[in-house]
Chains A and B, each alone.
Chain A
Amino acid sequence: MLLYLLRRLLYTVPIALSVGLVCFLLVHIAPGDPINAIVPADAPQELVEQIRRDYGLDRPLPIQFAVWLGKVAGGDFGNSLATGRPVWADLSVAIGNTLRLALVAALIGFLLGTALGGLAGVFQGSWIDKAAVALAVAGVSVPHYWLGMVLVVIFSVQLNWLPAMGAGPGGSSDWAWDAEHIRHLILPAVTLSVIPMGIVTRTVRGIVAEILNQDFVQTLRAKGLSGRRVCFHVVKNAAPNSIAVMGLQLGYLLGGSILVETVFSWPGTGLLLNNAIFQRDLPVLQATILVLAMFFVVLNLVVDLVQTAIDPRIRRG
């Protein structure tokens, strides 16, 4: 197990490095000279060259990459071109908000998905199975940015029950777990939860149905085990793959939240990214993508390790 752990950790290093490389190259696939994003177009030529040297933009790409990597590893993501503030200052606040939203959405989606998928798998062909399957297909097919707008129309505009945007009263971004803040969290979290709900429902349904068809379940029943004890064995067998799917879904939520955050003006990475795109603030864009992707890489690692810990038969090289 220790050896596997080490190997899996080692495997993560090149992946993390390549993710860094892709993020680094993002700035360079952007049209135009990256220097144009830093200095105004009418700046004198000597000044442009001066800044080019200061930023190291005159050096070969591999060296620029190494320098950038070193800075990033030290937590220095540079300064925002739009505000001049260090990128990390805004990014760290935004990541907290995004994680909060994604975790709550994941919790809702996973609980509903597991319950629906489990019931659908046990009672295959029943009305509850059909309803769960229909709900799951709708969940993965709905454009969630649109669903968010529909929920706003119903619960904010028509019923006036819940706030339509922001993360707190008066647009504050300081979070607290009080009633007012939680009211702001409900609509975006529910909106974001439909995709993992759909996918987890489908997955758990398939896994449970497959396990129930296996011989060992019949043996357990024949041995006279109670329904609850049989259920325990089914859960134990369904857990590794279900957890793997859920882990990946949590990662997808980090990316998927961008659109939902835009709809609800949720002050997370999505909103930050959206602003960065419109102001062509490439350092912010780069840093946000990098940090979110790194979360995803670590999440993948954790999922693999947890999965292997539960079921040693699964080992990825």
Chain B
Amino acid sequence: MKAAPPSASAAAELAVQARDAATRREGYWAGVRKRLARDPVTIACGVILLAMLAAIVFAPLLAPHDPYAGSMLRRLRPIGTPGYLLGTDELGRDMLTRLLYGGRLSWFMGITPVVLAFVIGTLLGLLAGFVGGGVNMLIMRATDVFYAFPSVLLAIAISGALGAGTMNAILSLTLVFIPPIIRVAESVTTGVRTLDFVEAARASGAGPFAIIRVHILGNVLGPIFVYATSLISVSMILASGLSFLGLGVTPPEPEWGLMLNTLRTAIYVNPGVAMLPGACIFATSLCFNLLSDGLRQAMDVRA
């Protein structure tokens, strides 16, 4: 049997390669979507989180009362009071309204540190992994120091020294989350940097920025993204925890952790109402955790 002309065979091979590449790229995201679609828990958590986000964004439209207007005449009404669906707090303010408004600060303080740490940590991790040598040494030894503190302790230490305030709390949490993100980014970058396809790219004249943008980011972002979503849950708990300690948001601003703290004395009078802000933190944190687990499985990354 006569072999096909070389040119035709090469073209066929190229076509096959192109098709493979196309299906592979489509295949990955299609696979992720398919796996997600078969995972009702993750979908449900995503829907719940979106609903919560919508509720707190549109709080001014949804809230039945003024979040700051209280009355000594209607303090600590139980859940289900007509006109005050979720009761009232220790100063007679409507709980539903304050929970809606409180979610804004709780979400903001929970998510902002993770986003900031994601950006800064990824940059430093890429730098450490890609440049290597002394730069790597410097960055990684600095993260080691932060790893020598339990994370809650470090957050409280920095917040405690800086004093109460939303921005101080965000700053301290950002500092706590940067080191673990650097570690993930650095280890993935170091692993990818020496692979053949990066060598090939360099040999064919690609500059460092092109290599990072095209070849390394694609590999690094997935694991860090999944890792960062799992941090949101911790961050929400810690941010509200700082407010609970009096280190974050200051009264009368509504925030779930702070509300939980000011309602502590109410557990003898009206435990149902006193438990509500914590239940909100729990629900949010649980959904973010389950969402993160689902994404990790669907995207098939180990982080």
Contact = CB atoms under 8 A, between A and B. Distances in A.
Interface string A86-129: 00000000000000000000000000000000000000000000
B11 interface: no
B157 A30 contact: no
Interface stretch (A60-68, A141-149, A173-181, A235-243): A141-149
B139 to A, nearest CB: 14
Contacts of A30: 161-163
A146 B275 contact: yes
B160 A277 contact: yes
A297 B150 CA distance: 10
A255 B233 contact: no
A273 B160 contact: yes
A143 B145 contact: no
Contacts of A140: 233, 289
A157 to B, nearest CB: 6
Contacts of B289: 137, 140-141
B149 A293 contact: yes
A252 B234 CA distance: 13
A205 to B, nearest CB: 13
Interface in A15-41: 15-16, 18-19, 22-23, 26-27, 29-31
B206 interface: no
A145 B153 contact: no
A27 B151 CA distance: 19
B290 A137 contact: yes
B209 interface: no
A29 B233 contact: no
B279 interface: yes
Interface in B260-292: 260, 264, 267-268, 271, 274-275, 277-279, 281-282, 285-286, 288-290
Nearest to B271: A153
Contacts of A263: 264
A78 interface: no
A232 interface: no
B148 interface: yes
A273 B245 CA distance: 10
Nearest to A280: B163
Contacts of A252: 150-152
Interface in A260-315: 262-263, 273-274, 276-278, 280, 282, 285, 289, 292-293, 296-297, 300
A142 B161 contact: no
A143 B153 contact: no
Interface residues of B, number: 44
B240 interface: yes
B148 A152 contact: no
Contact of A143 (B148, B161, B282): B282
B162 A29 contact: yes
A243 B267 CA distance: 39
B3 to A, nearest CB: 44
Contacts of B150: 251-252, 254-256, 292-293, 296
Contacts of A200: none
Contacts of A145: 241, 244, 260, 278
A289 B153 contact: yes
Given A137-B290, A141-B282, A274-B245, A29 B161 contact: yes
Contacts of A251: 150
Contacts of A31: 162-163
Contact of A141 (B145, B271, B285): B285
B161 A282 contact: yes
B153 A152 contact: no
Chain A interface size, as a band, is 35 or more
A150 B278 contact: yes
B270 to A, nearest CB: 10
B246 interface: yes
A182 interface: no
B300 interface: no
A273 B156 contact: yes
Nearest to A11: B144
Given A137-B289, A153-B267, A254-B150, A26 B158 contact: yes
Contacts of A142: 282, 285-286
B36 to A, nearest CB: 18
A276 B286 CA distance: 32
A140 to B, nearest CB: 6
A152 B274 CA distance: 12
Contacts of A146: 260, 275, 277-279, 281-282
A129 to B, nearest CB: 15
A141 B236 CA distance: 10
Contacts of A273: 156, 160
B268 A157 contact: yes
A113 to B, nearest CB: 17
Contacts of A150: 275, 278
Interface in B126-178: 141, 144-145, 148-154, 156-158, 160-163
A199 to B, nearest CB: 11
A72 to B, nearest CB: 16
B282 A255 contact: no
A305 to B, nearest CB: 16
Contact of A276 (B160, B267, B275): B160
Interface of A: 14-16, 18-19, 22-23, 26-27, 29-31, 137-138, 140-147, 149-150, 152-153, 157-158, 251-252, 254-256, 258-259, 262-263, 273-274, 276-278, 280, 282, 285, 289, 292-293, 296-297, 300
16 contacts: A26-B158, A30-B161, A137-B289, A141-B237, A146-B278, A146-B281, A149-B278, A153-B275, A158-B271, A255-B156, A259-B152, A262-B245, A273-B156, A276-B160, A289-B153, A296-B153
